[in-house]
Chains A and B, each alone.
Chain A
């Protein structure tokens, strides 16, 4: 099956800093999604981005499908950005998740 690797596994930032999270995947995909998992376990959709670049407020994402990677950018981080960020890819019909990046933003 498809392998998904996320880096870094952990990230600690001061409030206001910028960060880049990376997702590498091992095969061609039909779909790529970024999620933020809050402390209660809810997965919140950030981006549906099989290719190209999208922006939503302080967050943006880029997927280069031909090179099998995606990047999530967080600018001017806030303490509420803390949590686990997951990349998930769909090969045929179901999502394969990476292990996530745990982000802690301190005041």
Chain B
């Protein structure tokens, strides 16, 4: 399977705990995106990497959220001191290839976070 993969698929945590999600993009893609989707809404952009550089962050990304892509391959999204309002589906997408002008994004299966 050469698609975007995300782990874990589900995460249940208690309010105040920290959680970390991982995304592995399609191997030749140099761009990686994180989105959040709540019930009944479309996905909303959180942050975007080109290779290892974080180029854009949404205002939705509070100080409790941090994302990394240390070697320009996989990425992690950490949420510190989780709140019930963080409960959502967290989606990762990737696009590329390097040098291409076509920016079609492909999405992973998502990580569903429930904060109790």
Contacts and interface: CB of A to CB of B under 8 A. Distances in A.
Contacts of B104: 31, 33, 45, 48
Contacts of A25: none
Contacts, number: 54
B31 to A, nearest CB: 8
B28 interface: no
Nearest to B104: A48
Task: State the main secondary structure of chain A at its contact with B.
Answer: strand
A65 interface: no
Nearest to B40: A99
Contacts of A4: 42
How big is chain A's contact interface, by range?
Answer: 20 to 34
Interface residues of B, number: 25
B33 interface: yes
Nearest to B34: A94
Given A99-B41, A99-B42, A100-B42, A45 B48 contact: no
B33 A97 contact: no
Given A31-B104, A45-B104, A97 B110 contact: no
A43 interface: yes
Interface of B: 31, 33, 35, 37, 40-45, 48, 55-56, 89, 91, 93, 102-107, 109-110, 112
17 contacts: A33-B104, A35-B107, A41-B37, A41-B89, A41-B109, A41-B112, A42-B109, A45-B104, A86-B43, A88-B43, A93-B31, A93-B103, A95-B33, A95-B35, A95-B43, A97-B42, A99-B40
